[in-house]
Amino acid sequence: MNKVHFVGAGPGDKELITLKGYKILTEADVVVYAGSLINKDLLDYCKEGCELHDSAYMNLEEITEVFVNGIRAGKTVVRLQTGDFSIYGSIREQVEELAKYDIGYDCVPGVSSFLGAASSLGVEYTVPEVSQSVIITRMEGRTPVPPLESLESYAQHQTSMVIFLSTQGIEKVVEKLIKGGYPEDTEAAVVYKATWEDEKQIRGTLKDIVAKVKEAGINKTALIMVGRFLGKEYNYSKLYDKHFKHEFRS
């Protein structure tokens, strides 16, 4: 039996889908796409007559029904999700529903927006000796966050942090980050619609980023990035150090 193909659409730019994802999309008979976030120009890759469903208007049962009907009719079914589905992709519940119908799935990864945003800014999250970890998180909204994952608790590490789904509450986010341990002069950036034509980048510090973001009128489809990786300080890596020998270089 056919499987449902979960495909990461990438962050926006229609060329940022993988070649493999693109190929499956061109072959699809049925596509369920996340219309609120993906670039609809990606649907131009679909063949004529491909059945398109915008999941923004559907609940889980309706999405499952489209999957099941498509698979039972022997069609190629694609679920096109924004960025990569492993980050806030609600993929788990979809595959669990499919399992109830004995329908399998496979996955083609996508470029997550936190990677698109780093590319747009031209930054490295893991600058040697500045930060070697990236925390991907969100503030609780209508979806709760487990209590052990508070922004305050993560802030004590003062490492690179990318905060999804939270720009609408940026005052509160910044308050928690400072309360948790980041100094006020820590660099911060907000990237709206990374890799889209109307992308916006706001750079500042925890002290002034809220005002700048409000002034720009950004409250959704954006990431909050925090940490000294956005600053001027850097160190050389061991990897390309001529005095440093490793497996491929002696």
3 state DSSP class of 34:
coil
Q: Which is nearer to ligand SAH, 32 or 87 (CB)?
A: 87
Distance CA 210, CA 78 (A): 39
Q: Which stretch binds ligand SAH (CB under 6 A): 48-56, 67-75, 171-179, 192-200?
A: 192-200
Distance CA 232, CA 223 (A): 21
Distance CA 14, CA 42 (A): 5
Q: Is 4 in contact with 71 (CB distance < 8 Å)?
A: yes
Of residues 84-143, those binding ligand SAH (CB under 6 A): 84, 87-89, 112-113, 116-117
| Least CB distance to ligand SAH at residue 96 (A) | 18
Residue nearest to ligand SAH (CB): 83
**Residue 227 engages ligand SAH in binding (rule: CB under 6 A):** no
In the list 94, 158, 186, 221, the residue contacting ligand SAH (rule: CB under 6 A) is: 221
Distance CA 68, CA 150 (A): 38
**Phi, psi of 160, deg, nearest 5:** -75, 130
DSSP assignment letter at 229: G
**Residue 37 engages ligand SAH in binding (rule: CB under 6 A):** yes
Mask for 44-83, x = binds ligand SAH (CB under 6 A): --------------------------------------xx
Distance CA 189, CA 119 (A): 13
Mask for 140-169, x = binds ligand SAH (CB under 6 A): ------------------------xx----
Q: Is 216 in contact with 180 (CB distance < 8 Å)?
A: no
* Length of the chain counted residue by residue: 250
Q: Which is nearer to ligand SAH, 71 or 195 (CB)?
A: 195
Which stretches of the chain bind ligand SAH, using CB under 6 A? 11-12, 37, 82-84, 87-89, 112-113, 116-117, 164-165, 191, 193-196, 221-223
